[in-house]
Amino acid sequence: MFHVEAVDTALVRDIMTPAVFSVAPDTPAASVVEQLVELKVHRLYVVEEDGTLVGVITALDILRHLRAELAAV
């Protein structure tokens, strides 16, 4: 039987990162890599000029792309 002894009552706002880092859909991949490293983050939100969220680019996405590129050589 599963039993929870202590419930964490923390709110998201108390533990979240308050800054949102984003890039445009036409940002070069090399620039995304630079920003991920400089900002020390694992993901950047992809937003249109009007602020509409259209996706998320992650470090894992970059690695998958590089793996595919290496496999094609």
The number of distinct structural domains making up the chain is: 1
pLDDT band at 5 (very low <50, low <70, confident <90, very high): confident
- pTM of structure: 0.77
Q: Express each pLDDT in 26-58 by its tens digit.
A: 999 999 999 999 999 999 999 999 999 999 999
> Residue 43's domain is classified under what CATH number?
3.10.580.10
Its domain, for residue 42, covers: 12-72
Q: Is residue 50 part of a domain?
A: yes
Per-residue pLDDT, 54: 98
Q: How far apart are CA 8 and CA 12, in angstroms?
A: 11
Report the C-alpha gap between 32 and 49 in whole angstroms.
17
Q: Return the closest-CA partner of residue 35 out of 24, 67, 54.
A: 24
